[in-house]
Structure 1
Amino acid sequence: MSSPSRTLVLLAHPDLADSRVNRVLADAVGDLEGVTVRDLSVARFRDGFDVALEQHLLLGYDTVVLQFPWYWYSVPGILKEWMDQVLTHGFAYGSGGDALHGKTLQVVTSTGGPDASYQPGGYNRFTMVELMRPLDATAHLCGMTLAEPLVVHGARTLDDATLASYAERYRSLLAGDELRATA
């Protein structure tokens, strides 16, 4: 009998108390069996992260979720800092760096603009899949499978019912092990 899947959600919001969308999403999955939500703003010390602790945590999970608001076509600074410090040569990639091989990377992000603005010819010119290529490359370098991202568009204008629908979809995604690899 195989053990149940374990999921680590790395919540990377610089001001969660002021976030409506990411707070609701995190709350939706925080009580799921096998899911641990780790707020990086709480885990970060004055001079960065406890790299040994963060790497040790990663070893105990099958799926790593990066949950964050989409900032300037990328991840927020706190998540970039975590990646720079924790995903090191010899651990996550390179010679002997196979600690994350076979794990799944799931991206859950929110955007300020509507879906239509993330299309060719739209306000932001590119699709989210195109803009997320660096995360795809990171997953590949680390030997991880990149699941289909969950993108919550229009965070500033979402009504409560639509936000609740996204929260339920996120909960189902993590509860049902329905992570699908991207093509």
Structure 2
Amino acid sequence: MAQDKQFSIRAATPEDAAALISLIQELAIFEKYPDGPEINEDILANDLRRHACYAFIAFHGEELAGMTLYYLGYSTWQGQYIHLEDLYVRPQFRGNGLGKKLIKAVAKVAYENNYKRLNLNVLEWNQNARNLYSSLNAIDLTKEEGWLVYRFNEKGIETLARDD
């Protein structure tokens, strides 16, 4: 664990795509998906360029320490909001408040743009992340409101699109 709590966080640019992909791969392994993401550096760089997603990247000195990736969504109840897709802090930098700092960077974007919510998903077994979110007053929507998350994967989308 890094003893020094000095981290720098900045908005990621398309030129950071390779670094972000490396962190996303580490996150995939941590989440027990070792095959990793299906996107590559070029796709992510293009998505950042066209504002399909946004990211913050963190450094400890010159060393890559973590990141968060988010995108805008829309609620018919409250309008635009932020969905925090990924938050990852490398193991050697955990326990120093970097996860909180990265979430705060995204929350600041939401606040400055008057977005009324910041949504995220967390794996049930990831108790450390759940504890972090709870400590920051995030609401467990499964517990409090009964919301469950569903997904149509690529095959499901194709089946629906072709079914007449």
Normalising by the smaller structure, the TM-score range is: 0.3 to 0.5
| Higher-strand-fraction structure | 2
Larger RCO (CA under 8 A, 6+ residues apart)? 1
TM-score by length of 2: 0.35
